[in-house]
Amino acid sequence: MTNISRLLCFAIVIVAALLTVTGTAPAKEVKVSISGSTEKISAFEDREITYLSFSGLADIIGGSVDWQIVGHQITYVRDTNRFMFVIGSPFFKRNDSLFNMTYPAEFSDGLLYLPAETFIPFLNQVFHQKITWNKDSETVRVDSEYFNVTDLSISPKANGLLVEIFLTGALPYDVYVTEGNWVNISIRDGKLNIPRIESRRDSRYMYQLKTHQQNETGQVSFRLRRKIDRWTHRLEDNPPRIQISFADVNFDLEPSDTTPKIGPDDKIDVIVIDPGHGGSHYGAIGPKGTREKDVALDIAKELAKLIRKDKQFKVVMTRDRDKTVTLQERANVANKAQCDLFISIHANSSLKKHVRGWNVFFLATAKNDSARAVAQFENSAFFKDQMGTRPEKDPNNGSSYDDPILTILNEMIMTEFQAESHDFAMMTDKEFRRKVKTPARGVDQAGFYVLNMIFAPSILVEAGFISNRSEEKLLKNRDYQRSVAKAIYDAVKRFKAKYESR
């Protein structure tokens, strides 16, 4: 036997050993409580430590798991965080830092298993909601209701500005103003819902909005644009909240500062469905000539049919036939209807013909070139309507660009419903993973002009890549269109169940 053959045999033995590092097959299930429902994932016990299927958990909470057989490394990517695990090792990397979860990562039946007790706290450090493990109930809980400092609002008044920080109950707090117009609220025993609070930054009134959680004390700090002369604060109830009033006799309430009323009541019952493009705006076109505007309308009609059949909702469509509707007109329809949810339906496209899968987007500044490219293309109708031009670069080539109009748009992104939109996007993602049998590209964010003008939680769904031959065929298939519609419909019901119960 040659030396190369010996080395090859040795490598095969090592890989085989790694693949069987855990002789323990999954023997039970644990629960995952998220968005008002309970899911189950496989698990097993090893030395009184519960190992849960992180592959299964990732399917529920979002993100992508990628196996690299050489060296047997596994990566998990979610938002800007990248985790790297090695089977049989308790050490893992998160971005550029090394951590020790005490017990090793294990592998069984093609799935990655991690120790719930020692890994979930690391995941909680970077997750957008509170995520905890309860050994007694054997439940992973993803919970925004864990927080007792839940939200922030900014209200312009005729003689000043009112900032309110919402609590679940009365908490002791201090307010102090520091140099540079910084207002700092320190809340003892406060647990901050950081993503939701930070999403409330309104650039009309403040330069910055920051949060800081230090053990059992939470701090909210914001830097106002106007000089602070007189201010007062007090604790109110029904609902519990800290009110901070800034008096400014020179403050004039501009018409642009008024926000349209959002829905006539506390119910989630007015749904606006927005089929992308239409009329002279074809959208993307597939290899066989399928037009995005037609696919989007077909899916939208299937969704409208499902929702109307439920009789719990009123459905408004921005278009119900092949006609040209500007992005401003779509927003006007939604806001006039006082919608509770806005759903824009599209089909994706790429110059890379092998690219497949669906995406769910919500409104926020794009974090990657791919999301920016999708936004650039979907916003192109706005560019054409307003300036008579289209983007200079093809938005589907994945390259970066510096478009001044889109840059301005991203700076003006409305954040009032960002947290709820993200939640709705996550619910939609979850239902897509259950019902739509094409690759999941997950939840992403970008600056879509149509979503930026909607005064309600809103998402944009890319139902598949019309530029891919197999997905072009699927997008025309009635059964596939119904599965997409059913996934969105079930997400609407999930959102209604969660937010109406508050």
Asked if 143 and 37 count as a contact pair (C-beta separation under 8 A), the reply is: no
C-alpha to C-alpha distance for 70 and 73, rounded to whole angstroms: 7
pLDDT band at 364 (very low <50, low <70, confident <90, very high): low
pLDDT confidence of residue 405:
42
Lookup: tokens for 162? 């009112």
C-alpha to C-alpha distance for 277 and 294, rounded to whole angstroms: 9
Task: Check residue 105 and report its DSSP letter.
Answer: B
pLDDT confidence of residue 311:
85
Whether the per-residue pLDDT at 471 is higher than 50: the answer is: yes
Specify which of 27-41, 198-212, 285-299, 390-404 reaches the highest per-range mean pLDDT: 285-299
Q: pLDDT digit string (tens) for 184-221?
A: 999 999 988 877 788 788 878 888 899 988 878 999 99
Share of the chain above pLDDT 90, in %: 36
Tell me the CA distances in angstroms from 95 to 73, 82, 154, 361, one per residue in order. Answer: 14, 5, 35, 24
pTM (predicted TM-score) = 0.55
Whether the per-residue pLDDT at 373 is higher than 90: the answer is: no
pLDDT band at 466 (very low <50, low <70, confident <90, very high): very high
pLDDT confidence of residue 58:
86
Q: At which residue do the structure tokens 């905890």 appear?
A: 132
For residue 464, the surrounding DSSP H or E stretch is: strand 458-465
Q: Which residues pair with 98 in a beta bridge?
A: 93
C-alpha to C-alpha distance for 466 and 474, rounded to whole angstroms: 9
pLDDT confidence of residue 370:
64
Asked if 491 and 428 count as a contact pair (C-beta separation under 8 A), the reply is: yes
Instruction: Compare 292 and 374 and report the one with higher pLDDT.
Output: 292
Asked if 356 and 465 count as a contact pair (C-beta separation under 8 A), the reply is: yes
Whether the per-residue pLDDT at 447 is higher than 70: the answer is: no
Domains and CATH numbers, the chain: 21-143 (3.30.457.10), 149-257 (2.60.40.3500), 270-500 (3.40.630.40)
Closest CA to 220 of 247, 240, 191: 191
Asked if 349 and 467 count as a contact pair (C-beta separation under 8 A), the reply is: yes
Backbone angles phi, psi at 374, to 5 degrees: -65, -45
Amino acid at residue number 6? R
Whether the per-residue pLDDT at 475 is higher than 70: the answer is: yes
Asked if 42 and 111 count as a contact pair (C-beta separation under 8 A), the reply is: yes
Query: Three-state SS for 89?
Result: coil
